Amino acid sequence: MNLEELKELISRNNIKTVDLKYPDLVCNWYHISFPSRRLDFVLEHGIPFDGSSIPGMRSVEAGDMILMPDLNSAIIDPFLASPTLRMLCSVCDADTRVGVRKDSRSVAHRAQEYMKNTGVADESYWIPEFEFYLFNEAEIHNGKFSAGYKFTSAENKEDLPFGYKDIDGTAVANRKGYHIDIPFDKYAHVRDEMVRLIENIGCPIRYHHHEVGLSGQQEIETELLEFSFITDRMMYIKDIIHNCALKNDLTATFMPKPIYDEAGNGMHFHIQLRKNGKNVFYKKGNYADLSEDALCFIGGILKHGRSLTAFTNPSTNSYKRLLPGFEAPVKLFFGLANRSAAIRIPKYATSAEAKRIEFRTGDGTCNYYLAMSALLMAGLDGIDKKIKPDPKNGYGPYDDNVFNWSEERQNKLHSIPSSLEEALEALQQDHEYLLQGDVFNRDMIESWIQEKTKEVVAVRNRPHPFEMNLYYSL
């Protein structure tokens, strides 16, 4: 969208307010608004703010930063009663107007430029899969003398909200929720509303459905879309899901494992590279019709898989999802149509246009800009160093369910970290591939580790409710 088109949009919709949004390092959203009459000035000069007040961004003695809006991210806010224009911003140095090292959106831009400079590809295309729960109630409290949570769902007979009697008998028990039909899929109309709003901001949806979790688990999946476009739209999609849920008296969560012993929420990433419009990953006759570059791209992700989880699975809760038996991959290998693999090659994507890989380990607590940039950098490192996966190095391909293997054979496979703390240690030891092309830098990585370590300590230092069962009466 150019400036003339943007002004015409503002005039046509009688927009009086522009709302600028930007994420902090761990992807919490912030915003600042201004009257639309100031648009020209803001586009030229940006909006100054105190970066030291945003966690993980900058110290007090050097806090002055500038928000620079991106015209291509402009949409009409789908929820505010007063017509409002939204735009995403890059966080820039006040003096240079260049994206700061810790601005995740700027990291993503640098990752794309680095990819182009390698000559491997000039575009990358992605499909994110959004998995989330819709609960009727979410009660959470944490204090010195009490702590707990309670989630309820009118879909699950064993998890009904307070006062809900299920007099029509549509709450279900003793089955999985995958593709469950109406009327038992009670919130299909809410997903429909979400999808309409998502498509209204120019982001095409491939499909949506009820997921495995019976207490309101959902999935929405986009079409294959270009990196810079989809990373920005993913921020809007998550916001639409949260706000649309609240509008319908529900609450949405992307937590990887909100419910014990039930299906967790992942975020699978389908990835494809293109050069001059041609799919770099396709070569007829190879394993799964994958090119040598595709195989080495996979090899790079698997080799750096342990450190990658610090960005793709960056919460303490992430590692409660990554357990055997829940279609959540815990071993670093790849295979055709293999849902126990960290990287699956979709069997239905057979044409030169559709061929792609699917990274299945990630989850929705990630900062999309950083997680997707890190995956891209790992894959490009694999191509550069020709890290071709092979059964000899334990990366596959394996086309059978590895969880049916003997324990001895399973133990020979490379494992993802078992905790966020372990993932951060892996990142500390293995991050040189992220520094190529000055995409990430050591200061930014160290800040990420520091911010995430605070979460590790905060969870670790608190008594766990189940510890009361185990130890209270000893």
Nearest to 218 by CA among 230, 231, 209, 205: 209
360 is catalytic: yes
DSSP calls for 198-215 = HHHTT--EEEEEE-S-TT
The phi and psi torsions of 378 (rounded to 5 degrees) equal -65, -45
Please pick, among 58, 105, 208, 360, the residue that the annotation labels catalytic: 360
Give the residue among 222, 314, 233, 207 at the shortest CA–CA distance from 268: 222
Q: Residue 436 corresponds to which tokens in the numbers above?
A: 């190529």
Structure tokens at 69: 């809006």
Closest CA to 320 of 413, 418, 249: 418
CA distance 357 to 334: 9
Cα distances (angstroms) measured from residue 342 to each of 49, 246, 331, 334, 391: 41, 33, 6, 6, 15
Backbone angles phi, psi at 152, to 5 degrees: -130, 155
Provide the token pair at 22. 């930007």
183/188 Cα distance (integer angstroms) = 9
131 is catalytic: yes
Burial of 405: CB neighbours in 10 Å, binned 0-12, 13-18, 19+: middle
353 is catalytic: no
Residue ranges in 13-122 assigned as alpha helix (H): 39-45, 104-118
Q: How far apart are CA 97 and CA 177, in angstroms?
A: 49
Q: Catalytic: 358?
A: yes
The stretches of 313-401 forming alpha helices (DSSP H) are: 318-321, 368-385
Catalytic residue among 185, 289, 293, 358, which? 358
The CA distance from 331 to 341, in Å, is 7
The tokens 């007090």 sit on which residue? 60
Q: CA angle 237-364-260, nearest 5°?
A: 130
Active site residue 158: no
Distance between CA atoms of 209 and 217, rounded to whole angstroms? Answer: 9
Establish whether 211 is a catalytic residue: yes
Is 129 catalytic? The answer is yes
- DSSP secondary structure letters along 137-201: EEEEEE-SS-EEEEEE-TTBTTSPPTT---TT---B-SS--TTPPTTTSTTHHHHHHHHHHHHHT
- The active-site residue, picked from 129, 262, 293, 421, is 129
Catalytic residue among 50, 226, 327, 390: 50
Q: Taking a C-beta distance cutoff of 8 angstroms, is the pair 137, 150 a contact?
A: yes
Q: Which of 31, 38, 97, 339 is catalytic?
A: 339
The helix (H) or strand (E) run that includes residue 451 is helix 442-460
Rounded-to-integer distance, Cα 109 and Cα 100, Å: 12
What are the structure tokens assigned to 27, written together? 């992807």
CB 380 within 8 A of CB 115: yes
Q: Which of 86, 268, 306, 344 is catalytic?
A: 268
Catalytic residues: 50, 129, 131, 211, 219, 268, 339, 358, 360
